[in-house]
Amino acid sequence: MMRLAALLSLVLALMAPAAAFAGEVKVAVAANFAEPAKAIAARFKARTGHDAALSFGSSGQFYAQIANGAPFEVLLSADRERPEKAEAEGLAVAGSRSTYAVGRLVLYSRTPGLVDGRGAVLKGGRFDKIAIADPRTAPYGVAAVETMRKLGVYGALAPRLVQGTSITQAYQFVDTGAAELGFVALSQVARAKGGSRWLVPAASHTPIEQQAVLLKAGAGNAAARAFVGFLKGPEARAIIRSYGYEAP
């Protein structure tokens, strides 16, 4: 029994340093990246012991919060504009910005056969409402508007648009039937069965280059720095690709 107790004490002593160094990082995550971020956070926890506390929302809203002192330590934006701006305005650590994913836009409906493989439904008018994310705050909303303008249908469709505050809400409009179809992120429907969809050609809009940056609030946090580094590694990249993104 004494030997067993001594062995247990040794194991606990060896585990103590790891527990002492485990920390937490507060991460602001673009809504389109919610599911892969959860998977990456779980793998990050398993590999490092650090917790990643994830918050989801639109990139524009997060930037406004960060500029007003919100204590986020890492920003995973749905564009490159906000991370660049954060660096330029001294809200982020210089040189920490990198592209973690390139997103793809999809025109999606839960109704089989409604959306064709070329997006011609946008000119056919067989629907009442089409959902998009708010282009003022969400890069996927910008891409949706650019796509419709390129197809020459934006003017006709503008009265039918239902705008979500984020790409998550835009998807919810489609999923609940509030809109018959909508422009959503491929990651949101990559694993969904049924329905109908059109993968929008990348050339139809400005590339959705999603960048991450270490914010000043996380500069001294080892967990925050570790998360930014983990995001660039092979395990995170494999998860990112599995959700339909391109991973640099």
Main-chain dihedrals φ then ψ at residue 93, nearest 5 degrees: -75, 125
Q: Is residue 2 part of a domain?
A: no
The answer to whether the beta carbons of residues 122 and 105 sit under 8 Å apart is no
- In angstroms, the CA 163 to CA 239 distance is 29
Contact between 184 and 108 under an 8 Å Cβ cutoff? The reply is: yes
The secondary structure element, H or E, covering residue 38 is: helix 34-48
**Same domain flag for 83 and 159:** no
| Residues 109 and 163 both lie in one domain | yes
Residue type, 217: A
The answer on 212 and 141 residing in a single domain is no
Q: What is the pLDDT of residues 130-160, one digit of tens each?
A: 999 999 988 899 999 999 999 999 999 999 9
Kindly report the average pLDDT of the chain as a whole number.
91
- Cβ neighbours for 242, distance < 8 A, ≥ 6 positions apart: 36
Residues 195, 155 share a domain = yes
Nearest to 29 by CA among 37, 20, 40: 37
pLDDT for 20: 46
Domain with residue 160: its CATH number is 3.40.190.10
- Tell whether the model's pLDDT for residue 164 goes beyond 60: yes
Residue 12, in any domain of the structure: no
Q: Is residue 87 part of a domain?
A: yes
Residue 3 has a pLDDT of 56
| Least confident range of 3-7, 30-34, 63-67, 99-103 | 3-7
* 8-39 tens-digit pLDDT: 444 444 444 444 468 999 999 998 999 999 99
Residue 79, token pair as written in the block: 């564009």
Q: What is the distance between the alpha carbons of residues 214 and 49, in angstroms, rounded to a whole number?
A: 19
Residues 130 and 92 in one domain: no
Q: Is residue 6 part of a domain?
A: no
Write down the residue that tokens 């906000």 correspond to: 82
Residues 187 and 238 grouped into a single domain? no
Same domain flag for 225 and 157 = no
With contact defined as beta carbons under 8 Å apart, do 23 and 52 qualify?
A: no
Residue 180 sits in the same domain as residue 235:
no
In the block, which residue shows the tokens 């001594």?
6
Mean pLDDT of 160-188: 95
Is residue 7 situated within a structural domain? no
Residues 96 and 215 in one domain: yes
Distances from the Cα of 38 to the Cα of 54, 56, 79, 133, 203, angstroms: 8, 10, 19, 21, 29
Q: Can you say whether the dihedral through the CA atoms of 197, 199, 205, 211 is positive or negative?
A: positive
CA–CA separation, 135 vs 60, rounded Å?
10
For residue 36, give its domain range: 23-102+208-242
Which residue has 């564009």 as its token pair? 79
Give a yes or no: residue 97 inside a domain: yes
The answer on 143 and 155 residing in a single domain is yes
Shared-domain flag, residues 167 and 149: yes
Residue 7 reports pLDDT greater than 60: no
Say yes or no: 110 and 228 in one domain.
Answer: no
Q: Could you give phi then psi for residue 214, rounded to 5 degrees?
A: -85, 120
Q: What is the rounded CA–CA span in Å between residue 108 and residue 128? A: 14
Is 33 a domain residue?
A: yes
pLDDT of 126: 85
Dump pLDDT digits (tens) for 187-245: 899 888 899 999 999 999 999 999 999 999 999 999 999 999 999 999 999 999 999 89
Structural domains in the chain (count)? 2
Q: Which amino acid is at 138?
A: A
